[in-house]
Amino acid sequence: MALVGLIGILALLGGARSVGGISFALQSFVASCFLVVLGAQALATGLTLRYVAEAIGVLPLPPGRTLDTERFPLERYLLLFLAVGLVGAVGFAWSLANWASVGFGGLDLQTSMRGAALSLTAIVIAGQGISSALFISAVGLRAPASRTAA
C-alpha cells in the first residue's frame, strides 16, 4: 500500500502524467499520499502488535532476540519522527506563505496542492510514528526483564 503510494507520489510530483490514454493528475497525487499514510499506519500497527504479543508471551521471540529497547531507544524514534514532522511543518508553512503572497486568494491547485498534501502526509506519519514509539516504550516498561528467546 505504502509502496504503491510512494511510487504514485514520485511519478506525479512534477505534474500530471498519462499512461495508455488515462490521465493521472492532482487527485491521483492526493490518493497516493493517502496510500502512504495508510501503509505507514498498517506498518506501525503491525510492528506494535508484534512487540506487544512478544512482550506478553503470546508469540515466541525469534532465536537470540530479547525485548530490550536499548537497540532502538524511544529517543531515537522520537528524533526521527520529529524530523519528519518538522520537514512537513516547514513545507506546509511554505504552502501557507505562498497562499498569503496572493492575499489568500485563488491559487493554481495543480502546483500549490502538491506541496501542501505532501507536507501534511509527513506530519500525519510523524504523529503516527511518535504515538507508536511511545506505546511500544510504555509496553517495554511492563515487559518482564527475563523474557528472552529460548
pLDDT of res. 57: 85
Give every CB contact of residue 150 below 8 A, 6+ residues apart in sequence. Answer: 60, 63
- Reading the block at residue 132, the C-alpha cell is 507508536
Q: Over 80: is that where the pLDDT of 140 sits?
A: no
CA atoms of 85 and 67, how far apart (whole Å): 28
Q: pTM of the full predicted structure?
A: 0.84
Q: What does 16-81 look like in DSSP terms, one character per residue?
A: -EEETTEEE-HHHHHHHHHHHHHHHHHHHHHHHHHHHHHHTTSSPPPTT-B--SSSS-HHHHHHHH
pLDDT of res. 73: 82
pLDDT of res. 149: 58
pLDDT top residue among 115 and 149: 115
Phi–psi pair at 34, nearest 5 degrees = -65, -40
Tell me: the pLDDT tens digits for 75-127? 999 999 999 999 999 999 999 999 999 898 888 887 789 999 999 999 999 99
